[in-house]
Amino acid sequence: MTDHGRPRPAVLAEARWPPPGAPRGGLEQGRFLHSRFPPLVVAVAEACLRQRHREAPAPAAVGERTAVLLSSLRADEPTAAAVAEAVRQRAQVAKPLLFQSAPTAALGELAARWGLAGPMLSITPLGDRLREGLALAGRLLALEEADEVLLICADLATGPERTDTAHALLLGRPPISPNP
């Protein structure tokens, strides 16, 4: 059971960044500027989705009912800082930064690539990013807003010796147990 009295969603697939045993290293930056956050979100989410669907896109009937939920304590601070600095200097903000500054930018790219068309949400929890993400995912499933929820918990390292961390779970409705 979750904190809200609902059964815990079923875990259909799971991935973590960095992957166990992987050497420390950077992620492919792709089309994102200044920040490791969007590539981190995309990398862990795709690793999770590949476990379930092997390759993009997900089957259409599944993708159209899959929600994407980002839970992050700090989100994309480097992009926010780059936009704020440009505004402070009264400089033109690069158009890709304006797109990227929304917490859901990486989710949109991911959803387009994998054919995910369910609700897309981003939260900044006050407490534990996984626990609060699981609670919201459980509500989405219970209210039948989605059949599956891709929950991504991600944050960039804040110190020189720390590592960026991310955890993705593809969740479904809990199995129905027969009444005794």
What stretch of H or E contains 11?
strand 10-17
Q: 148 CB contacts (<8 Å, ≥6 apart)?
A: 12, 62, 65, 66, 67, 118, 170, 171, 172
Domain borders along the chain are: 10-21+34-172
What topology does CATH give the domain 10-21+34-172?
Peroxisomal Thiolase; Chain A, domain 1 (3.40.47)
What's the confidence (pLDDT) of residue 31?
58
The residue behind tokens 């991911």 is 110
d(CA 168, CA 152): 4
Q: How far is CA 157 from CA 79, 144, 154, 163, in A?
A: 15, 35, 10, 5
Rg (CA), the chain: 17
The per-residue pLDDT string of the chain (180 residues; one tens digit each, 9 = 90 and over) reads: 445 566 789 999 999 988 776 655 566 655 555 677 888 899 999 999 999 999 999 999 999 999 999 999 877 766 666 666 767 878 877 666 566 556 677 898 899 999 999 999 999 888 899 999 999 999 999 999 999 999 999 988 777 767 788 999 999 988 776 655
